[in-house]
A and B are shown apart, each in its own frame.
Chain A
Amino acid sequence: MSVRIAAVGDIHVGTSGTDLGELWSSLDAHADLLLLAGDLTKCGTVEEAEVVARALAGVRVPVVGVLGNHDVHTGHGAAVAAVLEQAGATMLEGAGCTIDVAGTRVGVAGVKGFGGGFPGSSCADFGEPEMKAFVHAARSSAAALAGALAQLDADVLVALMHYAPCRGTLVGEPEGIHAFLGCYQLGEAVDGAGADLAVHGHAHAGSRRGATEGGVPTFNVARPVLAAPYTVLTVDPKRCGGRRDEAVTQ
């Protein structure tokens, strides 16, 4: 039986504006779980998180999310995550969880991620302390994702990030800002774990579909890209696990 994964990021909820609860009201009929790919709030305040929490109150399927850069802007990322956890979401940062969907184990590992760039235009751990800190943030986030993916025993393995793990889903964005939209180290973590798919947000002008360097299907679910309150990724478990089987054989 296929697993239907609803996903969206970059909803940028403020304390007033569009009622996402209404937009998500039919989600349960179309999906078995909901992934939130960060930038759930406008500026990362508890008040904004409470608006997201109210919208989640009407969603009955399991909800798994990561924070984005907007959610940590005011320095209250942990409090934002706590409010969403209180509303029933499982918020991940360097951690994973497994959800049973009618006997199929769906494993989700998540991190916010960071920028740093892609082969040919990536940043190196060299020079000013500020540059080194930038690169260290990307590398440690990717290492946390790799660690979280490695812990999961699942039929369908999903990597959930805010920042992008590949260039393919950035097509449409100015190349000059790719290094601020994602980093190849996240892709290395996705590929190294043999994940079945990767989901991210952050790139509002990017493309919906792409793939990591290792060929893992990758979906940019930023709401401006979807032009919809969420997308539905229908995953056939029979087509999953191949990359992990190859790794065991090798």
Chain B
Amino acid sequence: MSEDSYLGAHLEEALAEDGRVAEQGLHVQVAGDRVVVSGTVSDPERKRAVAEVLRDRVGGRTLVDLTDVAGSGPPPEELV
């Protein structure tokens, strides 16, 4: 496990534990000077909070936010 991977794990934990985000399903990958975050958050405000929490911790690295906001499309239907 590289030092980048350790940092990625610490950042994922921060996203779960910081009450502004509190999302456990986000993936953070650190590659040199880039920090890439992906996964789904509940609303646009939570997406902004992801960026806030990470910016506090990544120093001068470039943050790439690939998170999605949970969809509000038509309800999918299932037959049981």
The answer to whether A228 and B76 have CB atoms under 8 Å apart is yes
Determine if A196 is an interface residue (Cβ-Cβ < 8 Å).
yes
Given the interface pairs A219-B78, A236-B80, the reply to whether A13 lies near B42 with Cβ below 8 Å is yes
Q: How many A-B residue pairs have CB under 8 A?
A: 85
Contact of B22 among A12, A226, A239 (CB under 8 A): A12
Cα–Cα distance between A234 and B44 once the two chains are bound (Å)? 31
The residues of B with any CB-CB pair to A shorter than 8 Å are: 19, 22-23, 25, 39-40, 42-46, 68, 70-80
Determine if A78 is an interface residue (Cβ-Cβ < 8 Å).
no
The answer to whether B80 and A14 have CB atoms under 8 Å apart is no
With A17-B45, A205-B40, A232-B76 given, name 11 new contacts (CB 8 A).
Answer: A11-B42, A12-B23, A14-B43, A17-B43, A43-B22, A196-B80, A204-B39, A217-B80, A230-B75, A231-B78, A235-B80
Given the interface pairs A42-B22, A227-B73, the reply to whether A234 lies near B78 with Cβ below 8 Å is yes
Which positions 167-213 of chain A face chain B at CB distance < 8 Å? 196-197, 204-205, 208-209
Given the interface pairs A11-B42, A224-B70, the reply to whether A231 lies near B80 with Cβ below 8 Å is no
Determine if A76 is an interface residue (Cβ-Cβ < 8 Å).
no
The residues of A with any CB-CB pair to B shorter than 8 Å are: 6, 11-14, 16-18, 23, 30, 42-43, 70, 73, 196-197, 204-205, 208-209, 217, 219, 223-224, 226-236, 239
Measured between beta carbons, the chain A residues less than 8 angstroms from B74 are 228
Cα–Cα distance between A6 and B74 once the two chains are bound (Å)? 12
Cα–Cα distance between A16 and B49 once the two chains are bound (Å)? 12
Measured between beta carbons, the chain B residues less than 8 angstroms from A236 are 79-80
What are the nearest 10 A-B pairs in CB distance?
Answer: A227-B71, A224-B40, A204-B25, A17-B43, A18-B43, A12-B42, A235-B80, A17-B45, A228-B73, A223-B70
Measured between beta carbons, the chain B residues less than 8 angstroms from A224 are 25, 40, 68, 70
Pairs across A and B, CB under 8 Å, 23 listed: A11-B42, A13-B42, A17-B46, A23-B72, A43-B19, A197-B80, A204-B25, A205-B25, A205-B40, A223-B42, A223-B70, A224-B40, A224-B68, A228-B72, A228-B74, A231-B77, A231-B78, A232-B78, A233-B78, A234-B78, A234-B79, A234-B80, A236-B80
Cα–Cα distance between A73 and B17 once the two chains are bound (Å)? 10
The closest CB in chain A to the CB of B45 belongs to A17
The closest CB in chain B to the CB of A227 belongs to B71
